[in-house]
Amino acid sequence: MSPVVKRRGERFTLPGKYLLFILTVLCICLMLLTFGTNVFDKPLNTALGYVVIPFQQGIARAGEWLSRRSDELGQIRVLLDENARLKEEVAALTEENTLLQQDKYELNHLQELMELDQQYGDYKKIGARIISRDSGNWYTSFLIDKGSDDGLAEDMNVIAGGGLVGRITATGPNWARVTAIISDNSNVSAMTLASGDNLIVSGDLQMMSEGVITFTKLVDSKNVVVEGDKIVTSDISDKYLPNILIGYIHTINKDNNNLTKSGYITPAVDFEHLSEVLVITDLKQVVDETE
Amino acid sequence: MLRKIIVALLIMISFLLESAVFQHFAMAGIVPKFIIILTSSFGFMRGEKEGMTIGFFCGFLSDVFYGDVLGFYALILTYIGYINGKFSRIFYPEDIKLPIALIVVSDLSYGMICYILLFLLRGRFDFLYFFTKVILPEALYTIVAAVFVYPVILKINQKLEAREKRSAQKFV
């Protein structure tokens, strides 16, 4: 029987096959449309933002309160041990610090760091709270509770604890999505602080379980870059502001082509226990190349 | 009408559960996929069309907040709902083996499709790593969640069906 023939006294219903076909075509059209343009972004982000975000905010706050209470109870003993250990460590570190201060090279290094801090201080920043994480288990991105109403926009840089977290990739009126630098689909143009050599830092799901992310294309012709060197965002990146700390070199390997090096970086930010971040509202200056 | 409202609420709750609540209970960074449990159970309880529609809206919600393009997760979940709907003919409410098996297979195939389209095509070839570290733990955690969540969904559906039957009899 043809599905479109309408019988008397029978309600017209669309067979499953046809609905599947319609939904498939709809999804493919949406994908093609949103791949190049962002026509739906504004209305959808606004509408769904007002429905879902308030719940997520509430849950995030309640969850934080609960986990803080359980942490307090569970960790008192651990904290006592840790306190004793930390006191020893403080003593050791104080001694080490005195040694460091005598070292002239290290002094220069610290001055450079101070300049770096100064530069962070110049940017305008907004604090935001993380309210939910990507549930897909594949990419690392999360939502924060500030959006375009608070002056946030796409491509703004996000930092926490002095290191780079990522950048904003979508905004609604009261929320924004941050894609982390450890996400598998993220690449950051970076440089070494000491020698100014450029390299590319890429997120890597596979390496992240060991607490490191990969870097590639380091041209280090003078062989001066060593493990432990600071990696900061480069001047030539078109999304990231210069000189934001990304992390420290963990291992360096020579590539097969003998020209470039690659290896792993330990990120400066603890992505496991992130709950509040700072958004830099200054955007990187971009030259319009349409002419 | 009541069914539509309740299903919409269930979609919202599943999305909130996995994106906000269970982030605090994540094991090794892995969260159970509640939207797959919901899509697949409505698929085999109610048939292709309802499974498909619920899958579409669940996927669409993830797309808006976490997808690069709209329609990607929506398409995958639509098909999961449709294929689960094919099994509504051999579904009995008393049997728990079929539902759990279907939910696991759905989650595994969802993981495989995501791996192929998002990672393999970008040159990440270490399948064994991704299978043991992401796909398999996600499926296991999802079964554990399904054992608790599926009976609740089943009860809600049975209540709704009983109500619909009563109101249908009234008109006769």
Neighbours of A32 (CB within 10 A): 13
Residue A129, Cβ density class (10 Å: 0-12 exposed, 13-18 middle, ≥19 buried):
middle
Which of A22-36, A134-148, B125-139 is the least confident region?
Answer: A134-148
Question: A23, A45, A171: which to substitute to probe chain B, counting the most B Cβ within 10 Å?
Answer: A23
- Mean pLDDT score of chain A: 81
The stretch B107-134 carries a mean pLDDT of: 89
Q: What percent of chain B has pLDDT over 70?
A: 99
C-alpha span between B160 and B156 (Å, rounded)? 6
**Is A16 in contact with B75 (Cβ distance < 8 A)?**
no
Q: What is the pTM of this model?
A: 0.72
With CB atoms and an 8 Å threshold, state whether A55 touches B20.
Answer: yes
Alpha-carbon distance of A56 to B57, in angstroms, equals 18
User: pLDDT tier at B5 (50, 70, 90 boundaries)?
Assistant: very high
Residue given tokens 């449990």 in the structure block: B37
Domain ranges of chain A: 41-282
Q: Over 70: is that where the pLDDT of A106 sits?
A: no
What's the pLDDT score for residue A273? 77
CATH architecture of B2-171: Orthogonal Bundle (1.10)
- The yes-or-no verdict on residue A61 having pLDDT over 70 is yes
Beta bridge partners, A127, equal A278
pLDDT above 70: residue B1: yes
Cross-chain Cβ contact A52/B72 below 8 Å: no
Spatial separation of the C-alpha atoms in residues B110 and B136, rounded to whole Å: 11
pLDDT of res. B109: 94
pLDDT band at A11 (very low <50, low <70, confident <90, very high): low
What average pLDDT does the segment B98-124 reach?
91
Q: Which residue has the higher pLDDT, A107 or A252?
A: A252
Question: Given pLDDT bands bounded at 50, 70 and 90, which one contains residue A112?
Answer: low
CA distance A185 to A165: 14
pLDDT reported for residue A6? 53
pLDDT of A119 reads: 61
- For residue A104, the model assigns a pLDDT of 66
As a whole number, mean pLDDT of residues A200-228 equals 86
Searching chain A, which residue's CA lies closest to the CA of residue B126? A206
Burial B43-66, CB ≥16 within 10 A → b, else e: bbbbbbbbbbbbbbbbbbbbbbbb
Q: Tokens in use for B88?
A: 């509504």
**pLDDT score of B41 more than 80:** yes
Out of 3.40.50.300, 3.30.300.180, 1.20.120.1200, 2.40.10.350, select the CATH number for domain A41-282: 2.40.10.350
**Cβ–Cβ below 8 Å for B48 and A33:** no
CA distance to partner chain A, nearest, from residue B159 (Å):
24
Task: Kindly write down the DSSP assignment for every residue of chain A, as one continuous string.
Answer: --TTPPPTT------HHHHHHHHHHHHHHHHHHHHH--TTHHHHHHHHHHHHHHHHHHHHHHHHHHHHHHHHHHHHHHHHHHHHHHHHHHHHHHHHHHHHHH-HHHHHHHHHHHHHHHHHHHS-EEEEEEEEE-TTSSS-EEEES--GGGT--TT-EEEETTEEEEEEEEE-SS-EEEEETTSTT-EEEEEETTT--EEEEE--HHHHTTT-EEEEEE--TT----TT-EEEE-TT-SSSPTT-EEEEEEEEEE-TTSS-EEEEEEESS-GGG--EEEEE-PPPP------
What phi, psi does A278 have (nearest 5°)? Answer: -115, 130
pLDDT computed for residue A103 by the predictor: 67
Residue-wise pLDDT for A219-270, tens only, equals 887 888 888 888 989 888 888 988 888 999 999 988 888 888 999 999 988 8
Indicate the average pLDDT of chain B: 90
CA distance, residue B151 to nearest chain A CA (Å): 23
